Amino acid sequence: MDCHWVRKEERLPLSKGKLLSKQFVIKGEAIVGGFAVGYAVYYEDVLTRELALWKLGEHQAEGELKRLRKAMRKTQADLSRLKSKVTSQIDAQHAEIFGVHQLILQDVDLFKEIEEELRNRLLNAEQIVQNVFQRREKRLKKVKNDTLSEKSADVADVGRRLLKVLIGVKESNLSDLPPDSVIFAHRLLPSDTASLNTEHVKAIVTVEGSQNSHSAILARALDIPFVSKINVPLSTIRSKMQVIVDGEVGQIIANPGPKALAVYPGRIQKRALKKLAVVQRLQNKTLESAGKRIRISANVSSLNEVKMAKLFGADGIGLFRTEPLYMEKPNLPSEDDLYEQLNRILEQAPGQEITLRLLDIGGDKTLPFIDIAEIKDAALGLNGIRLLLKYPSLLKMQLRVFLKLSAKHNVRILVPMVSLPKDMMEVNRYLFEEKKRLRKEKIPFNESLPVGAMIETPAALFAIDEILKSSDFLSLGTNDLVQYVMAAGREKPDVADYYEAGNRLILNVLKPVIDKAGEQGKECNICGELGANLKFTDDLLRLGLRNFSVQPALIPNIKNKIYRLLTDPKGIRPLNSV
């Protein structure tokens, strides 16, 4: 979908050529709750747009297919970058859909269908691709199976991405929308929501959508109001028209009058205050169980998220993903650039403990300036600390930057994808070398900078005693751990029930890790999705876990749930009831 702003004099006409200037209400389905006041931005779908058409000579068909293959390769690369971006900035679970999109594009039958139609009809590739993907989308929509029917949006998303490459349209840049934007679209696909600038996008309104669509899941994670299945054509809404979106009841007030404009800002404030009330109610109360404090920190990857974490009362930054600082650049950032970027962000969290994760690249996350050879299953390849040890210059520069930051900020280092004790031993060896260099240069740093291991492989569970010897703390990365324990890929819909079952099964293997860390007086926290799942909060507390790290918007929910559990007369249930 391409962002399309209409100038004031180009307002979209209503029936009978009239423009509606009075307030009117549009009904829809509430997908994500919340309220917003903003201005309409029309977002157009390239898959349904009228495209240029031209006939080919038989001798031109091969050249057109060559152009198509090139476009498909570029689309695959774009999907890979987008998957990496979402994984680092939000989480791997929300990035899984782009792996599915890559599989759709790799379908041999898809290319055969396009090739056969192109040779038979001798039309330009854009026309054939549009026809084939529209046909496949409609076919899936007719299937009387919710799972298969919902996949129609994935097929459409892949088709539009391929079309945009063929046409030469630049990638949609939803990170560059004007302030107070309310996006109106026939549908909003995963690749669209992935690039949303949450500071400027106030709400989303679509004709098509569902509670379980990928866009809805992502909007929910970003706390953006979302209304779908509206009962009027999109042309009813003029670009830049002022609108109010009520995500609680599923309605849009267009051209709001003075009364509505007076009411809804108060509702927005009330909702925000409700969240803040939880923060304020608990800010002077120490959450603790059995004499141990319970801390709720934030997973972040940007300045905006650090500010959100502060707003929602985070006890610290339990996971700072550094990947976006690399992914947003075509070249490797210099040591000074990396230091300045991080320092500017960390200044927004004075005095708080901040866990900086070393660059977690490989598998589902790639960098444009590092050539990582693809393997059949990237999750079993060169990723996390394995990749950094293969490229020690990358590792040493990060360690040096983190050490310099430790002179001004309360930081600690987290090592991703630890499998063997030697992983931690090697990191500590490189850290020792960088400390020597900084002393020689008379650059200050924290001599006791803590270094922790991220436990997200079964191997780490088996070797936990030895890993603890070289670690100051542990962090449970349950997303990958569940995947590896269950042998069920997060991107494999056919085994989704196995992956889901792993969330409960894994509790049994976390208990010894938490206990052993506690016996040595070392902190163990959880930064995976399991820690943000309210269904498991009680279980995790009973396991002895006292440190959680979740997305900033979820902090009030987690704090409130724990407070209720602690103040319940029945208290936290006995451990043997897990």
Question: Is 515 one of the annotated binding-site residues?
Answer: no
Burial label, 487 (beta-carbon count in 10 A; 0-12, 13-18, 19+): exposed
Distance CA 558, CA 182 (A): 29
CB 180 within 8 A of CB 174: no
**Nearest 10 degrees: CA dihedral of 302, 304, 307, 311?**
-130
Distance CA 98, CA 112 (A): 22
Question: Is 542 one of the annotated binding-site residues?
Answer: no
Question: Is 67 one of the annotated binding-site residues?
Answer: no
> Per DSSP, what are the bridge partners of residue 372?
none
What is the token pair recorded at 224?
């953006």
Cα atoms found within 13 Å of the Cα of residue 546, Cβ hemisphere only: 17
101 is catalytic: no
Question: Is 231 one of the annotated binding-site residues?
Answer: no
Q: Tokens 């079964």 belong to which residue?
A: 458
**Nearest 10 degrees: CA dihedral of 414, 417, 423, 427?**
-30
3-state secondary structure of 301: coil
**Which DSSP state fits 552?**
G
Distance CA 32, CA 246 (A): 9
186 is catalytic: no
CA atoms 255, 256, 261, 264: torsion sign:
negative
Rg (CA), the chain: 25
**Strands (E) located in 212-325:** 226-228, 242-246, 251-254, 288-289, 292-293, 295-300, 317-320
CB 526 within 8 A of CB 476: yes
CB 485 within 8 A of CB 458: yes
Residue in 101, 214, 409, 524 annotated catalytic: 214
List alpha helices for 90-151, DSSP H.
92-105, 108-121, 125-142, 146-150
What is the token pair recorded at 98?
């782009």
Task: Report the 10 Å Cβ neighbour count for 359.
Answer: 24
Question: Is 328 one of the annotated binding-site residues?
Answer: no
Q: Tokens 């007369």 belong to which residue?
A: 569
Amino acid identity, residue 411?
A: V
List the one residue out of 45, 40, 250, 29 whose CA is nearest residue 153: 45
Phi, psi of 25 (to 5 degrees): -110, 135
Question: Is 343 one of the annotated binding-site residues?
Answer: no
What is the token pair recorded at 390?
């293969």
DSSP class per residue in 395-434: HHHHHHHHHHHTTTS-EEEEEEEE-SHHHHHHHHHHHHHH
Cα atoms found within 13 Å of the Cα of residue 263, Cβ hemisphere only: 9
Q: Tokens 């992502």 belong to which residue?
A: 218
Distance CA 364, CA 80 (A): 8
Query: Which parts are annotated binding residues?
Result: 321, 357, 456, 479-480, 490
Binding residues for phosphoenolpyruvate: 321, 357, 479-480, 490
Residue positions forming the annotated binding site for Mg(2+): 456, 480
For the annotated catalytic residues, the residue numbers are: 214, 527
